[in-house]
Amino acid sequence: MPKVSQDHQLARRRQIIDAAITCFARDGFHRATMQDICREGQLSPGAIYRYFPAKEDIIEAIARERHEREAGYIGAAIAVAGPADALRQMGRAFFRSLDDPAEKRRRRLGVEVWAEALRNPKIMALLRRGIDPSLQATAELIRTGQKSGDISADLDPDSAARAILALFQGFILQQAWYGDIDVEAYLATVETLFSAVLHEERPVTIVGEGGVRSKPPRRRKASVPAQRSKDGGA
Amino acid sequence: MPKVSQDHQLARRRQIIDAAITCFARDGFHRATMQDICREGQLSPGAIYRYFPAKEDIIEAIARERHEREAGYIGAAIAVAGPADALRQMGRAFFRSLDDPAEKRRRRLGVEVWAEALRNPKIMALLRRGIDPSLQATAELIRTGQKSGDISADLDPDSAARAILALFQGFILQQAWYGDIDVEAYLATVETLFSAVLHEERPVTIVGEGGVRSKPPRRRKASVPAQRSKDGGA
Amino acid sequence: MPKVSQDHQLARRRQIIDAAITCFARDGFHRATMQDICREGQLSPGAIYRYFPAKEDIIEAIARERHEREAGYIGAAIAVAGPADALRQMGRAFFRSLDDPAEKRRRRLGVEVWAEALRNPKIMALLRRGIDPSLQATAELIRTGQKSGDISADLDPDSAARAILALFQGFILQQAWYGDIDVEAYLATVETLFSAVLHEERPVTIVGEGGVRSKPPRRRKASVPAQRSKDGGA
Amino acid sequence: MPKVSQDHQLARRRQIIDAAITCFARDGFHRATMQDICREGQLSPGAIYRYFPAKEDIIEAIARERHEREAGYIGAAIAVAGPADALRQMGRAFFRSLDDPAEKRRRRLGVEVWAEALRNPKIMALLRRGIDPSLQATAELIRTGQKSGDISADLDPDSAARAILALFQGFILQQAWYGDIDVEAYLATVETLFSAVLHEERPVTIVGEGGVRSKPPRRRKASVPAQRSKDGGA
DNA sequence: CATGAATGAGTGTTCATTCAT
DNA sequence: GATGAATGAACACTCATTCAT
């Protein structure tokens, strides 16, 4: 019965990871105890240890899930036509994902993972397996855009990729702290900042959590006038 | 012996905090034990507990020091002539401070504090006492600049302040992870992004960690390509 | 496995309480450490803390057991026919219980509980839940006896109840100190003191630790001189 | 300067012991810390350790003071004319001393000493140096009274002495617990109980805390009618 | 003599992990 | 597979005692 057994195993892992996410998000990795997770997941310690050899491995599994989810945003964005639009698309998909309360809770946990990565090489490796390709793909997108003239040649692609990542990370952090930051206003500001270096916008396809849907270009107060700023080409 | 005693007391607090910073930066708040701090600081547990009633209070003291240091950047920047220049100045002072290895180590710890703040209201309060005024001062600076025409009216001041903060925080995080990010290249990119909304630049006075020094205006064009050489292939 | 589990749980509590009684009786509440109790009871700290959330709760449990045992004496005595006989009966049951070495050891601990009660309101409450009803029942017995003419009307019932209690307590204390006080001689003396106020004695049924047994009335004259032989020179 | 030095030494010991009594009475021997005593007595730890080599020695000194005070009651009573009156006198002096709040506080501490004596042979020895002679003197008083016919021959002198002591100790304990027991009512009850075995009462001289004063015999309801109980001579 | 900062062994308690059932 | 009682090393913290000043 390898099928039933495997299904069961996956279901149990899910149950454990979900309980752990709840506990870790509430109390942090170190303050949440295995007993807490048992209680939350209606499981016995023995049951958990059958699926995860140590508490650390649950943390690792959670970090791994994060990294897999992350890879989706950039991948979906690259499929879009032009590089400049792909960047816009990536930003929108990312920020809008934070409207989902479940994602918000997971992100809160993410901050904990950031700190954990500093002490735990396995977590660090996992994190970088998620981030480094995104960073490189973004830099590559910029380089492509620069060659085609879509993106200003003034930008150092690597640093710009880091800056984009920073705008994501800083937002996650601030939202974890404040809880109620206006996503749309922040996204508009980010688009304004990049409007000077990203030369055009065409109709795009939005890829959100729930699937793919078409969308007309959003012309918003914040982003449009930026186009006509004095030294727009910089 | 009140005078000697007070000096001594301050020296001891410093000794303990320094030892704690070393231990916390190495192992994290939760993995570092009081015994570790004792060993690091060449002190007995009793000695530490004479100065700090609990481990948590050491963490708090460290967070407090961070917050006080932070306040300096924005304060120094506001003293500078125009709002646009004040923003530039603030960014430069901040990013350059990260060239100091000691500051780098402290920032690493800062990431831990970010996570800790999510569970510990006292730390959260301390953090916000450092960040909220900076955020407000930055937004105010932008509003002032918008009135005088120095800063594009397209920007939502609050969101822009958040974005600036995010660019700082994300950089801190990435530097904590990667260790060797090129500060100047990142700074140049940030300045490029803001060049479209910050209209003019005049000679400024840089206030860094080590004191005050004059500096000619930095021309973007000159610095960005120089950075290109590094890590170019992504 | 609820039935087995409950039996097991009770057995464990017993094991812990017994180990604790041994340790506390030997070293006192404060000098006896949890490690001592672990060693004595062949248990790990974790095992103990599964059954008692804190050391204090073990002390409390011991005090509670005392109080429950105590309630037995007065309850059993009240069942006896006349009030005067009930008082005699109560005294005998109580003092004779002190012939049991295990009870002697527990009483030794009782002295510690007396002191503990002075600082610990929970222990004080427990103690009074045991003593106050006894005091009141005794006073009530005296009042009843006074109405029926069995007990001298001269006695203030409340103070007399206190005096009876004092005769018990003082004896417990002295026996804890000296270890080998002649219970029968003391009991005879107490009965002599009360013979003037307790007017009659009828055949009674003694309820001791081990069960119920019939006993002919004890004539004071017969028992007191027999004790004289012991320790005569003072 | 041996005189000044000795005075100083005694004054310091007093200061320390007083502070310790306050602290021990409030928190118990084990919960009161040396720091508490320092604070209470406005002294440094070093100063205390110059006069007492260990915390235990302070406890010992306090127990020693108790024992010396105790000896006074019995000594003063023996000076009185007849043995029966001497016993009455002793009881009155003792119980009335408990009206003094300072003595009440010290007695509270006494309960702690009782428990401490069970673990600490030095304290036990000290305690018995105070109690044993009293017990023997009381028994001797009874024997003398029995020879002269003042005291009923039915009483075992040693057990009776213990019973008298028990009536004291039990009262101390109950007063420590309840705080507000009626001393006079209790004393009257005790005298009633003994009225059957103590045959006469003559004018006595009361020796209290504050000195010596004359007093007419107190004929109280509680003690007189007891004389006419049926089997009074027993 | 006095101070009070410092010591460090020891305390009660926790919790990741194991394993008999 | 699952349970949950048990383990025991490790933790934060205390406090009687010492000793340089």
Cβ–Cβ < 8 Å for C84, C201:
yes
Contact C221 D154 (CB under 8 A): yes
Pairwise CA distance, residues B89 & B129, whole Å: 22
Contact C166 D173 (CB under 8 A): yes
Cβ–Cβ < 8 Å for D212, D205:
yes
Average pLDDT of the residues in C63-88: 78
**Mean of per-residue pLDDT scores for chain C:** 81
B185: distance to nearest CA of chain A, Å? 6
Other beta carbons within 10 angstroms of residue D206's beta carbon come to: 16
Is the C-beta atom of D40 closer than 7 angstroms to strand F? Answer: no
Q: Which nucleotide is nearest to D53 (CA to C1')?
A: F17
User: Do C and A touch, counting CB pairs below 8 Å (3 needed)?
Assistant: no
| Segment among C108-117, D17-26, D100-109, D141-150 with least mean pLDDT | D100-109
C215: distance to nearest CA of chain D, Å? 22
Beta strand A204-208 pairing with B211-215: unpaired
Residue D133 structure tokens = 């002679």
Is the C-beta atom of A9 closer than 7 angstroms to strand F? Answer: yes
The distance (Å) linking the CA of C44 with the C1' of F6 is 8
What confidence tier does D200 reach under pLDDT thresholds 50, 70, 90?
low
State the Cα angle at C121 between D36 and C66, rounded to 5°.
120
State the Cα angle at B16 between B10 and B19, rounded to 5°.
140
- What is the pLDDT at residue A202? 52
Pairwise CA distance, residues D200 & D81, whole Å: 12
Pairwise CA distance, residues B85 & B202, whole Å: 7
Pairwise CA distance, residues C11 & D12, whole Å: 54
Residues 37-56 in A having a C-beta less than 7 A from any atom of strand E are 45-46, 49, 53-56
The distance (Å) linking the CA of A125 with the C1' of E16 is 24
State the Cα angle at B195 between B192 and B197, rounded to 5°.
135
- What is the pLDDT at residue C224? 28
The pLDDT tens digits for D158-192 are 999 999 999 999 999 999 999 888 899 999 999 98
B117: Cα within 13 Å, side-chain hemisphere: 28
C1: distance to nearest CA of chain D, Å? 43
List the 136-155 stretch of B: residues with Cβ below 8 A of A: 152-155
Q: Which amino acid is at B221?
A: K
A6: distance to nearest CA of chain B, Å? 35
Which residues touch C73 (CB under 8 Å, ≥6 apart)?
Answer: C90, C93, C94, C97, C134
User: What are B198's strand-pairing partners?
Assistant: B151
The pLDDT tens digits for C134-168 are 899 899 989 998 998 888 888 999 999 999 999 99
Would an 8 Å CB–CB cutoff place D30 in contact with chain C?
Answer: yes
Pairwise CA distance, residues D171 & D67, whole Å: 18
User: Do A and B touch, counting CB pairs below 8 Å (3 needed)?
Assistant: yes
Give CA A86 to chain center in angstroms.
16
Pairwise CA distance, residues A141 & C73, whole Å: 90
pTM for the structure as a whole: 0.82
- What is the pLDDT at residue B4? 56
Closest CA relative to residue D77, chosen from D14, D164, D9: D164
Nucleotides on chain E that have an atom closer than 7 A to a protein CB are 1-20
Residues 4-63 in B having a C-beta less than 7 A from any atom of strand F are 32-35, 45-46, 49, 53-56
Beta strand B211-215 pairing with C204-208: unpaired
D4: distance to nearest CA of chain C, Å? 40
Cβ–Cβ < 8 Å for C12, C51:
yes
Question: Which residues on chain B are in Cβ contact (under 8 Å) with A108?
Answer: 118
Residue D202 structure tokens = 């003559």
CB pairs under 8 A between C and D: 192
The pLDDT tens digits for B120-159 are 999 999 999 889 988 998 999 899 999 988 888 989 999 9
Nucleotides on chain F that have an atom closer than 7 A to a protein CB are 1-20
Which residues touch B21 (CB under 8 Å, ≥6 apart)?
Answer: B62, B105, B106, B109
Average pLDDT of the residues in C115-123: 92
Burial call B7-42: b when 16+ CB within 10 Å, e when fewer: eeeeebeebbbebbbbbbbbebbbebebebbbebbe
Contact A111 B108 (CB under 8 A): no
Residue A11 structure tokens = 């279901």
Q: From first to last of its 234 residues, what are the pLDDT tens digits of chain A?
A: 455 678 888 999 999 999 999 999 999 999 999 999 999 999 999 999 999 999 999 999 999 988 877 776 777 777 776 888 888 888 888 888 888 888 888 888 999 999 999 999 999 999 998 899 889 989 999 999 999 888 989 899 999 999 999 999 999 999 999 988 999 999 999 999 998 888 765 554 444 444 444 444 443 333 223 333 334 333
Interface test with C, best of D95, D123, D164, D193 (most C CBs within 10 A): D193
Is the C-beta atom of D10 closer than 7 angstroms to strand E? Answer: no
Question: Which residues on chain D are in Cβ contact (under 8 Å) with C190?
Answer: 163
Separation in Å, CA B116 to CA B23, B97, B123, C36: 16, 23, 7, 37
Contact D155 C189 (CB under 8 A): yes
Residue B99 structure tokens = 């060239």
What confidence tier does D2 reach under pLDDT thresholds 50, 70, 90?
low
Residue appearing with tokens 């952090």? A173
Interface test with D, best of C172, C173, C183 (most D CBs within 10 A): C173
- What is the pLDDT at residue A3? 57
A175: distance to nearest CA of chain B, Å? 10
Q: Dihedral of CA B1/B6/B7/B8: which sign?
A: positive
Nearest residue, CA→C1' of F4: A44
Residue C204 has pLDDT above 50, yes or no: no
Contact D185 C234 (CB under 8 A): no
The pLDDT tens digits for A177-210 are 998 899 999 999 999 999 888 876 555 444 444 4
Contact D169 C167 (CB under 8 A): no
- What is the pLDDT at residue A220? 38
The pLDDT tens digits for D38-54 are 999 999 999 999 999 99
Which residues touch C17 (CB under 8 Å, ≥6 apart)?
Answer: C58, C61, C62, C65
Residue C87 has pLDDT above 50, yes or no: yes
Residue C70 structure tokens = 């105590």
Pairwise CA distance, residues D39 & A198, whole Å: 71
Residue C155 has its nearest CB partner, among D112, D160, D189, at D189
Q: DSSP for B211-229? A: EEEEEPPPPHHHHHHHHHT
- What is the pLDDT at residue A52? 97
Ranges of beta strands (E only) in chain B are: 204-208, 211-215
Residue B180 structure tokens = 């060797």
The distance (Å) linking the CA of D230 with the C1' of F8 is 70
Contacts 24+ apart (CB under 8 A), B4-9: B9/B51
Other beta carbons within 10 angstroms of residue C200's beta carbon come to: 12
Cβ-based burial of C34 (10 A; exposed 0-12, middle 13-18, buried ≥19): middle
Would an 8 Å CB–CB cutoff place A30 in contact with chain B?
Answer: yes
Question: Which residues on chain D are in Cβ contact (under 8 Å) with C196?
Answer: 193, 195-197, 226, 229, 231-232, 234
**In chain A, what's the furthest Cα-to-Cα distance?**
70
Question: Which residues on chain B are in Cβ contact (under 8 Å) with A154?
Answer: 192, 220-221, 224
Nearest residue, CA→C1' of F10: B33
Question: Which residues on chain C are in Cβ contact (under 8 Å) with D110?
Answer: none
Residue C189 has its nearest CB partner, among D127, D160, D168, at D160
DSSP C214: E
Ranges of beta strands (E only) in D86-224 are: 204-208, 211-215
Closest CA relative to residue D173, chosen from C113, C61, C181, C104: C113
Question: Which residues on chain A are in Cβ contact (under 8 Å) with B185?
Answer: 156, 158-159
Question: Which residues on chain A are in Cβ contact (under 8 Å) with B29?
Answer: 30
Residue D119 has its nearest CB partner, among C28, C185, C192, at C28
Contact B163 A159 (CB under 8 A): no
Is the C-beta atom of C34 closer than 7 angstroms to strand E? Answer: yes
Pairwise CA distance, residues C126 & C117, whole Å: 9
Question: Which residues on chain C are in Cβ contact (under 8 Å) with D155?
Answer: 189, 192, 224
Give CA A227 to chain center in angstroms.
28
Residues of chain B predicted below pLDDT 50: 1-3, 204-234
The distance (Å) linking the CA of D70 with the C1' of F9 is 51
